[in-house]
Amino acid sequence: MAEQLKTDTQHEAWLITGIPGVGKSTISRLLAARHPRGAHLEGDVIGGYTGHFIVSGLVPPGMPPEEESNRQMNLVVRNQCLLACSFAQHGFVPVIDYVVVARDRLGRYRSALRSLALHLVVLCPGKDAAIRRNVERGRKSPVAEHWAYLEDIMIQELSGIGLWVNSLDLTAEATVDHILHHRDQARLARTGRGFP
């Protein structure tokens, strides 16, 4: 069993991203569990495809009408950040997971979480691995295959920002070990410096 962190991490937050199927939720939950007090804030639960919080009127990412889909994605980000700040104020380390492929969406997180030390981790085992994992998990919907093209956009938009982890040959636990070992690389500057 992995050892919990003993350091004071009260004023930090983590954002785990990558295309659908790379294991964001698994890694986020494990990373949150490594802290004495950790909270996992899953975008797909708050909004996204499953939208457990939304009982009527959900427009998932990429579905028409596009304007409403984008508005709801931004609402997910806003609500994740509100929850993250609340948890952090009460001594929890929030670990957020959501598909973030563009600088403007990352900027929303950075702005809303500016009081916290924000760490960005991009899981990038490759499109083929994401698609294969989706099948192995018994998912009926080809979500990973449908959204695999986002990897190219993510590389173009976010390359060089945060910690990029090729988790193809790593177990989930080993991936979290790697992330924590390289936590300084994952930390984003609180100002514009270091954020091209």
**Of 159, 189, 164, 185, the residue nearest 175 (C-alpha):** 164
What is the pTM assigned to this prediction?
Answer: 0.89
CATH of the domain at 151: 3.40.50.300
Residue 2 lies in a domain: no
Residue 120 lies in a domain: yes
Tokens of 73: 């994605």
The confidence score (pLDDT) of residue 129 equals 84
Residue ranges of E strands in the chain: 12-17, 38-42, 93-97, 117-123, 163-165
Q: Which domain holds residue 159?
A: 12-186
Residue 156 lies in a domain: yes
pLDDT in tens, 72-129: 999 999 999 999 999 999 999 999 999 999 999 999 999 999 999 999 999 999 888 8
- 55 — pLDDT class (breaks 50, 70, 90): confident
CA 127 – CA 148 distance, rounded (Å): 6
The structural domain count of the chain equals 1
